[in-house]
């Protein structure tokens, strides 16, 4: 099971994604053929590339932690910069939720609000 946590910040009647974490393998298929895991990984890689290379956030603005032994990837960015990323982050969050709704036996979404 892949567990994805979306970290939201609420304020001024809106919510903004300020980070996410993906932990574990989906178990849909063996690791070299697991299309569910590949889809989740691709979206998370896309958000990291978008934040660093397209939005040009510095290492001070975004933190990315990897642990291949779990597997785990955690990406967080500064709250005050979240509005700049809304189009990218909302698209990735909705895409991850769609994967979780189709493959609910393999992917679970958790949402944390602050």
pLDDT given at position 27: 93
DSSP string, the chain: -EEEEEEEEEETTEEEEEEEEEES---SS-GGG-HHHHHHHHHHHHHHHIIIIIS---TTTEEEEEETTTTEEEEEE-GGGGGGGHHHHHHHHHHHHHHHHHTTTTEEEEEEE-
The CATH class of 2-113 is alpha beta
pLDDT given at position 54: 95
pLDDT given at position 1: 95
pLDDT of residue 13 exceeding 90: no
**Domain locations in the chain?**
2-113
Of 2-16, 21-35, 100-114, highest mean pLDDT: 100-114
pLDDT given at position 84: 94
């Amino acid at each position: 099971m892949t567990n994805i946590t979306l970290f939201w910040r609420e304020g001024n009647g809106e919510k903004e994604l300020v980070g996410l974490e993906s932990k574990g393998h989906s178990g849909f298929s063996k690791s070299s053929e697991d299309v569910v895991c590949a889809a989740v990984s691709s979206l998370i890689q896309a958000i990291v590339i978008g934040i660093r290379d397209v939005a040009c956030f510095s290492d001070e603005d975004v933190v990315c932690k990897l642990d291949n032994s779990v597997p785990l990837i955690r990406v967080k960015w500064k709250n005050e910069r979240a509005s700049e990323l809304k189009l990218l982050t909302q698209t990735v969050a909705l895409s991850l939720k769609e994967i979780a709704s189709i493959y609910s036996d393999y992917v679970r979404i958790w949402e944390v609000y602050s």
